Structure 1
Amino acid sequence: MFLCQVGVAIVLGVTTGVSGTGHISRDHAILVLVLMCLYAAGFGWSWGPLSWLIPSEIFPMKIRPTGQSISVAVNFAATFVLSQTFLTMLCHFKFGTFLFYAGWILVMTIFVLLFLPETKGIPLDKMHVVWERHWFWRRFVKEQ
């Protein structure tokens, strides 16, 4: 996903220029389309389902319904904000919009690597132990 966003930014930056007023050739337009399709496929296979899967795995049984409700609400709100601001960003930042989103993909990846614990093989009723042992989150979770 990161590489596709950067690729789109490079193609648009090179073909339309910094001002974003240049014309893009048919071949470059096809390349942008292919990159965006690869991005959508990558999102569908990775980040897309995670907003539904991770909350069901990481929240302890006591707060799972509340946690998932908040997760869904935040997901919908973020989707709304992104869809409402994309065209304005594209008009002002030109190809930089795709670099902006690529930067957020990088930030999200680093966040997941550092702060999201592995849940493979952990029973749902033992998730509190994972949080109690995590290097960062243990200071916020009291042992049961």
Structure 2
Amino acid sequence: MVVACICYYVAAFAFSRGPLGWLVPSEISALEVKSAAQSLPVATNMLFTWIIAQAFLSMLCTMRYFLFFFFTAFVAVVTAFVYFLVPETKNIPTEEMLRIWTEHPYWKKVVTKDGAPPEA
């Protein structure tokens, strides 16, 4: 059961959230800030990988195989987040990303045409 849960979690993560931390920042960032914009997800990924590695064994002893359902729930939540809140960037040049954000049903409340946050 544990091996099956590990396989399911790895497959679900690779299908949903896994590559997005590397792909989305490079797709949505302007060329001038692309390297700086990529550094934040890399640092965050390394930090959370370290936290999970430190906590995994004690959590496994406490939660047993339910730990994998715990992580699978996070994958489901992030998959829903990506589906509803991350716009499609396929075949869209970087220069057009501001337009994509301002036309998105949710993000248009956060981003204006000039790239500045809207006035409250």
Question: TM-score range with shorter-chain normalisation?
Answer: 0.7 to 0.9
- Flag the 1:62–1:74 CA change in 2: closer, same or farther, 3 A: same
1:53 aligns with 2:13: no
Equivalent of residue 93 in structure 2, options 123, 130, 134:
123
Contact kept in structure 1, 2:9 and 2:71, CA below 8 Å:
no
Q: Which runs of 5+ in 1 are unaligned?
A: 1-10, 12-31
Equivalent residue, structure 2, for 1:21: none
**C-alpha distance in 2 between matches for 1:34 and 1:92:** 19
Describe the SS at the equivalent of 2:88.
coil
Identical aligned pairs, as a percentage?
39
Equivalent residue, structure 1, for 2:110: 140
Equivalent residue, structure 1, for 2:117: none
Describe the SS at the equivalent of 2:30.
coil
Q: CA deviation at 1:103?
A: 0.6
1:104 aligns with 2:96: no
TM-score (norm 1): 0.68
Q: Which runs of 5+ in 2 are unaligned?
A: 115-120
TM-score (norm 2): 0.80
Moved more, 33-42 or 110-119: 33-42
Q: CA deviation at 1:132?
A: 0.8
**C-alpha distance in 2 between matches for 1:97 and 1:105:** 13
- Flag the 1:109–1:117 CA change in 2: closer, same or farther, 3 A: same
Q: CA deviation at 1:36?
A: 3.0
Contact kept in structure 1, 2:13 and 2:75, CA below 8 Å:
no
Q: Which has the larger radius of gyration?
A: 1
**C-alpha distance in 2 between matches for 1:62 and 1:135:** 27
Contact kept in structure 2, 1:60 and 1:128, CA below 8 Å:
no
Q: CA RMSD in A?
A: 2.0
